[in-house]
């Protein structure tokens, strides 16, 4: 998962820099000293935000010590250890005191929470009045494959996506939620809401091939028993390191990844829960 999050940051870097520039525009004139990256994973948000806010430290919060170890290694490589703090915490439990926070970033993490509305209220309480919240949600899993793979199983990726959507509805029901009204319910004023789409075509970059392989490998693992044996065997050939069907060497890949972003602000002069 950590390797996939790093590749995600590399392959989707244009979208990430657009979103962080949008955050910086909204924060224009604000003093930003403390950023909270909630469900930080390997720190995609932390490392993309820090260059915009030269006086800020980032607190990366995650329940996974493995993710946080990886994030600390990256902070060392980038020479920003003095600006990055990691906190291992389960955000479904009572939150640690993070001190006064100017900016909260929650990318692809809110849908992991058992009670995301409670988490949004906690974000509101953690932010100082006037502080900003950026929420990023995945609109499904990126798509890479043509409908006809030339191996006799047309529509394979569509079937995978449908089976995964079905599975997610059972295991992660908040994924793909419309967070705007829920930000408003938690007390935030919505500053903006925008979809972002990243599309790649030929020549397909090498990191995007490895990203496709990782995404499809996770798909394969998750869909055991939910797809026909024929579909699974085509998937196996696609995710293989070698072989003519491998996504590492096919010349018919494209990529379409979609994200939705909401920006909220805690109004000046309002306490939490008022
Ligand atoms: C899909 S990853 C997103 C990582 C990162 N924000 C990004 O955009 O690349 C979700 C992260 O949320 C973390 N997470 C899930 N449930 C959590 C919880 N209850 N408390 C804290 N972190 C959690 C996971 O460990 C994982 O690193």
Predicted local confidence at residue 272, as pLDDT: 53
Q: CA-CA distance, 146 to 156, in Å (whole number)?
A: 9
Predicted local confidence at residue 3, as pLDDT: 85
Q: Whose alpha carbon is nearest atom 14 of ligand 1?
A: 39
What is the whole-number distance in angstroms between the Cα of residue 87 and the centre of ligand 1? 12
* Closest alpha carbon to 264 in 118, 131, 128, 116: 131
Q: Whose alpha carbon is nearest atom 8 of ligand 1?
A: 107
- Is the Cβ atom of 219 under 6 angstroms away from ligand 1? no
Q: Whose alpha carbon is nearest atom 10 of ligand 1?
A: 109
Predicted local confidence at residue 274, as pLDDT: 54
184 and 58 fall within a common domain: yes
Asked if residue 274 belongs to a domain, the reply is no
What is the residue range of 26's domain? 1-140+175-201+254-269
Q: CA-CA distance, 178 to 112, in Å (whole number)?
A: 14
165 and 220 fall within a common domain: yes
192 and 69 fall within a common domain: yes
Asked if residue 97 belongs to a domain, the reply is yes
Structure tokens at 273: 């829960």
- Is the Cβ atom of 12 under 6 angstroms away from ligand 1? no
Q: CA-CA distance, 1 to 67, in Å (whole number)?
A: 9
Asked if residue 164 belongs to a domain, the reply is yes
pLDDT tens digit string along 92-114? 999 999 999 999 999 999 999 99
Residues of the chain below pLDDT 50? none
Sign of CA dihedral 229, 235, 237, 239: negative
Please provide residue 7's backbone torsions phi and psi, each rounded to the nearest 5 degrees: -65, -40
pLDDT tens digit string along 209-229? 999 999 999 999 888 888 999
Cβ atoms of 66 and 93 within 8 Å: the answer is no
Ligand 1 atom closest to 92 (CA): 19
Q: What angle do CA 93, 32, 259 make, to 5 degrees?
A: 65
For the chain, the first-to-last Cα distance in angstroms comes to: 39
Whole-model pTM: value is 0.94
Predicted local confidence at residue 66, as pLDDT: 97
Which of the listed residues 39, 86, 135, 260 should we mutate to test ligand 1's pocket, taking the one with most ligand atoms within 8 A of CB? 39
The total domain count for the chain is 2
Q: CA-CA distance, 251 to 245, in Å (whole number)?
A: 10
111 and 208 fall within a common domain: no
Predicted local confidence at residue 271, as pLDDT: 57
């Amino acid at each position: 998962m950590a390797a996939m999050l790093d590749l995600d940051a590399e392959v989707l870097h244009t979208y990430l820099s657009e979103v962080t520039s949008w955050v910086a525009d909204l924060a224009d004139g604000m003093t930003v000293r403390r950023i909270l990256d909630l469900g930080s994973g390997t720190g995609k948000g932390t490392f993309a935000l820090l260059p915009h806010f030269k006086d800020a430290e980032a607190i990366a919060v995650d329940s996974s010590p493995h993710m946080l170890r990886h994030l600390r290694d990256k902070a060392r490589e980038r020479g920003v250890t003095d600006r990055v703090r990691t906190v291992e915490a389960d955000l479904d439990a009572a939150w640690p005191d993070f001190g006064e926070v100017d900016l909260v970033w929650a990318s692809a993490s809110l849908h992991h929470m058992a009670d995301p509305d409670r988490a949004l209220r906690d974000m509101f309480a953690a932010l100082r009045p006037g502080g900003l919240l950026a929420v990023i949600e995945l609109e499904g899993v990126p798509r890479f494959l043509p409908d006809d793979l030339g191996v006799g199983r047309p529509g394979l990726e569509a079937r995978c996506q449908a089976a995964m959507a079905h599975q997610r509805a059972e295991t992660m029901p908040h994924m793909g939620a419309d967070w705007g009204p829920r930000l408003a319910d938690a007390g935030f004023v919505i500053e903006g809401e925008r979809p972002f789409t990243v599309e790649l075509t030929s020549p397909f970059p090498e990191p995007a091939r490895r990203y496709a392989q990782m995404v499809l490998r996770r798909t394969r693992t998750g869909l055991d028993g939910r797809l026909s044996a024929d579909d699974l065997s085509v998937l196996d050939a696609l995710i293989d390191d070698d072989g003519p069907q491998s996504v590492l060497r096919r010349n018919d890949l494209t990529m379409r990844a979609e994200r939705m972003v909401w920006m909220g602000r805690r109004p000046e002069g309002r306490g939490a829960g008022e």
